Structure formats: C-alpha cells, structure tokens
Structure 1
Amino acid sequence: MKDFIIIGAGQSGLSMAYNLAQTNSNYLVLDANEHIGAPWLKRWDSLTLFTPTEYNHLPGMKFPFPKGYYPNKYEVADYLKSYVEHFNIPIEFNQKVTSVTKVDGVFEVTTAKEQFKSKQVIIATGPFHTPYTPPCHTDIAEDVTQLHSENYKNPNQLQDGDCLVVGAGDSGVQILSEIADTGRKVHFSGTDNIKAIPQTFLGKTLWWWFTKIGFLSVNRYSKIGQWLSKGVQPVIGTDVKSLLAKDNVIHMGRTLSADETSITFQKGSVSSIKNIIWATGFKPNFFWIDGISFDEMNYPSNYRGVSNDIEGLYFIGLPWLYTRGSATLGGVWKDADYLMNYIAKNQQAA
C-alpha cells in the first residue's frame, strides 16, 4: 500500500514526486515508457523548445544551460534523467496503466503486468494521448507515405515526390519549414489566418514579456483567461509569412476530401503528393479512470487539479489546468505546489 501513486514520469509527474519526497511520503511513479524522457526523444530530430533555459526549471534543480539558450529535445531528456537520478525518484517503467478504480476507500491501479494499491493517486500523463488523423486519410492511395507528427523524425523518412504537411500549429509549421529547406515541393494545408509571434522582441525573449505583462499568470477562470484558453494558440518563433512565400511552398487551405488519385483542398486538388505529415494534434484519453466526469474538451472535471468527482484523485500537466504555463516545463511547478499544499491541509484536517 502506497500513500501516493503518480501515473506518468514527465515533467509534471516529476514535479509532484519532488514535492512528495520533501514530506517523506511513501510514493511510487508508474510510467508506460522504457526510460525517462522517452516522449521527448520520440519527437522530430530538430525539435527545440520555444522557451529559453531560464523558464525551464523544475523545482529544486535548474536547467543546466546559459540564460537565453533554447534547448533541444535531447537536452530536455538528459535534464529529466539527471533530475530523477539526483532526487532518487522511484519509478517503475514499462507499466502502462489500464485502469484506476477506487474500492472501499483505496485506489486500485492496474497495469498490463500487475496491480498496485494506494491511498491517493496523481494523474500526470499529460494532454497528448491518441494521435488524431482526419478520417479521409483512409481514402488515400496506399503508395503514399503517411506519418503523424508523433512519428515524424526528419525528411529522410520521405520517399521521392511532393509532400503535404497538414496542421497550422507549432509542430506543423516547424516541420513544414524543415521539409521546405530541403528544396522539395511542399503543399501546406491549414488556416489562412496563422497568428505568429517572434521568440524575441526589443532585445528580450517572448517569455520575458509574457512574465512582465502577467500573461503566464492569468488563470482560466478569469474573463481574460477564458478568452485566451479557448482561442487559437499562436505559432512561436517561426516567420510564417516568409515561409509561405517560398516558391516551393504551396498553401492549399483546409483539406476537404481525398481518394485514390488526388487530395482536394479549399484551393484546388493535387494528384502529385507522395508524402503526408499529419500535424493534426492529439485527443485526450482518460476513459480508463473509473467514476470521473469530463469537460467539453474530454479532460477530467477538476478545480486546479483536484478531481471534482473522487476524493484523493488529482491531475497535473493539463493545458490550462490553471494558467497558460500549466503544461509547460517551467510552469508546472506552480500547480505542483498548489496540489501539495492542498494535500497537506487535507491531511492535517483529517
């Protein structure tokens, strides 16, 4: 019997583990991956954060790079590994949790291998679970290479011929830019109205300005927070206007339909595409947790990470759990602190 089980060994799970360790709690972290940092290493090879070093610290240990430096995915994974080793965080890998059920006041956490019991459970699996690909992808000819951005590594995966990148978020735009730099003809499918902001402005980083104006501390329950959280997030650090103006980049608008011979967009049909990168995001999956309700985005109902349905169940690392920074490497510690204080007060009251 554990006092706490944390499900997920990413930055949010590690932040909670750090806090629990400070109180000498009997806890365990379960993670579905083979090693720490695996989700980062699965991303495309050229991935770098759009937050500089000074905004990437987890509690108790600074990110070990100079101020103003933008780390790549390998450096983030190494930092998380060092964090686990430094604080001796107990993690069991290859433990994909299939269900969480509360029975007679005790949580039963079941994996593909075994069952664990705990008094309280913290869900730290993040927001990115099931890759989403539009239904029309099944109508496309089998000789077309199709990759979700989750599985895209670099342009060497692509066969000869034209490419299509679908998705106007950070991932889609960064992958589009990388493939366009190879000189290959790339069709782009996404909105005509991409909002983009630079990483630096007037000699200061974007995140310096965000902190200065209080953007990162606006909470989701305020009027401004409700407006921001429901809006389209801007692309950060990519000159989208210049990218779409390249001779080998053809903006087709939204994808409408597909068949064995061509793909149809708002701006016409194309039959020459041999590769498609679907940077179309992910759907959350928390349906393996018994007895909880969901909000309109299929995230578990909660207030600042405290379950609205089950006592002793908590969530961390979700987008806009409380603020814009809730799901970021350097912002999750604030939510971890809040949850730890909430837990401590509840234990004292008991």
Structure 2
Amino acid sequence: MSYDFELYTIAPRDLVDPPAFHGGGVQVDGPFHLEEDDIPSGYLPIVGGKRCLYQIHLQGLVAQVDKSVVDEWLHRVITQTNGTLIDSQTGKFETKAKSGNIRPEEDGAKVGAMSFYFEDGEEFFKHGFDSMLARISDILPAAMPTRYGSYEPLQGKVNQGEYAEIVAAFSEEIDIFMKSPAPFGYTFMSIPCAKTFEGYHPEHFIRRHHLLGMVQLELRQKVFTSPKILSAVLNLFKELCVDLDVVYAEILEESDGGSSWIWCGIPDRRAAHTICVGPAYQSVWPETSRSGELVGSRHRVFTIDRVGSSPPRPPANLLAPDRSGKDLREPLDYAAVFPFDYRFDRGSKR
C-alpha cells in the first residue's frame, strides 16, 4: 500500500523526521524545483507562488493508532514550512490557515505532435541525438528543450541553449525525456539499440517485435494558428525527416497518444496535418513515389495547404491492425503489406 501527498513550499526546508511504525513508514522524496507549467492548473490557485515540491509516501499497513501519529506529523510539517499539503488521492488541500477541495480541472486544450519513425537506432544513439538537437537549435531555437530527466518533475536544466549536458545524460541514461517552452511541450523517445537493451534478457518480449526508433515532440495549438511558427515547424520537420532517414513521419493537430516504437504498419490516422513517406513505403504505395514535395533525395512530404490539399490516406493494406487489448508478450498482427524483412533473432542487438 502507498498513500501519497504533495507538499508545496516557497523554498527547501529541513522537515522534521518522519515517523516510523510497525509494518510501514513515511518516505519523503525531494525537494524538487518546479516551473509553473509543472503544476496542474487546478492546483495553481491553491499553491500560489510555491515552487518547491516534496513527495510524501505513506507506505505499508497503517494501524489506526499510527494514523493519528502520521496526521500529527503532517500538521507539524505544514506549520513548520508554511506549506500547502495536497492529498493526491482525494484532491483535498490543507494549509496553516485553511483547508478544502481543489476544483476538478476542466478538459485541457488539444495537444498535437510531430513524430518520426526510423530504423537505425544505433546511429541515433551515437550521433543522431546530438545532430537532432543541433538542427532544432539552428532552425527553431524556441523549440529547444530547457529541461530534461528520467522522471517528473524534470530537474535537469539547459542554460542559454547549451545542450551538451543533455547529450551527456542521454549517453548514460537513454530513457530520458525533455520539455520545451510553450507552444511546444514534451519530447518523448524510444530508441532500439544496444544501450537500451543492456539490462534486458536476450529473449525479453519487447525484442520479439519489429521496433523502430521513435521521437515525438508535442505541439500546442498556437503552432497551428500562427503561420510564422507553423512554417518554421514544417521546415524543421522536413530537415529531421532527412537527417533521421525516416520510414514514416507525421504531424497531427490532435495526438491520440498512441505512438509506439512497436511498428506493425502505418498508424491509422483519420486526419494528419502533414506526413513524410520514406523509400520503403513509397515502394508499396506508388501514389507517394510520384507526388508530394521531394525533400533530400529519398523522402516525400505531403501537407495541408491553402487550396484544400491534404495528405493522402494510406491504403488499408498498409495500416497497422488494431492492437488494443492485445498482450504485448504475444505475437502481434502486422499490416497485410509490410515492407520490412524482420524476424526475431536471439542474438540481435536491435
């Protein structure tokens, strides 16, 4: 059992020692420094200017007599720090002066995404990640990540666009994600390479699937309502499609959050804003091999334009079958036409 609280304070504090009891105890993580966009919008009126977070976890089996000890300790912590304590389970809050319920958040604005799928994960790990950041810095510096880490809240910071520390962190811990200022957001990555699989069993179920490298950058709606920003995003998209030698890439005005490095075919999107089709799919989707905008020497881009054009819908035989509810430990179905020669190999480093 774990029961969780969040304590927001103005600055780091030395908390009074948490209680321990038979069968459980209290674990405190932090302090973590927060930016305003790390804090749920429904919390902001209650938290105010407090940007220091402690995560408090009540663990184990807690007898009734111990609950009163924990309650007393939490009250002392609130008083000591002049903080705001939020019960993560119920949404109730408490300060020295008042308590109450946080209003439920309204549904947030739509979030789009720019996603790239490519085959050479090893090259991305060795050189491509660094090159990608350099390309973003050159074409669209406003989209450069300013924070990074392996878990929330992100504590790694980028100062004045100097991203060498992110590259160094990525070389040590490949499972990181990054965050850029609005109108951009998180960057998520899944990279099949030897570094990723260092701790995996050679027959781990994930390696029984056809994996592509996947990089996804969030896009807020202002990207699509500002011609200047959208033009820069499209320029970046085209350059990264070539740099990464993508199999497929897409820009969505509203992401369904279903992107994955397990590639069973082209995602079944009803309305992509922009797509890029690489050579493998051009060979089985002839329409794309002789139309669209040629970028580099091998990739073709299709996008919405002012005269009503939109990206073509992939043929049904190229679409990934629906795998909702499927157990990823079991074999998955692939598109009827699948232009890759992939078989699970026990010795594979993919």
Q: TM-score, normalised by structure 1?
A: 0.23
Computing the radius of gyration from Cα coordinates, the structure with the larger value is 2
Q: TM-score, normalised by structure 2?
A: 0.23
